[in-house]
Amino acid sequence: MPATLTRRLVTLADAADALAVSTRTVRRYIADGQLEAVRLGRKTLRIKADSIERFIDAKPVGNWR
């Protein structure tokens, strides 16, 4: 029985778009441990989509959630 992949990975650019920041800021979030990333080769870096969702949920503004 094949394993089902439930984790989604996104590019730096996609993560930056989702967070409305630059790719440089996304790299800073990864370095600070605020976002989880996976290296898929020497130059290829992907961000775990669920870590983006957790990052967004952890930073509410006012009463908005």
Q: What is the pLDDT of residues 10-33, one digit of tens each?
A: 999 999 999 999 999 999 999 999
Contacts 24+ apart (CB under 8 A), 24-33: 29/55
Instruction: With 0.85 as the threshold, say if the pTM is over it.
Output: no
pLDDT at residue 4, rounded to an integer: 53
* CB environment 9-47: b (16+ within 10 A), e (fewer): bbebebbbebbeeeeeebbebbeeeebbbeeeeeeebbb
The number of beta carbons lying within 10 Å of the beta carbon of residue 5 is 7
C-alpha closest to that of 45 among 33, 30, 34, 59? 30
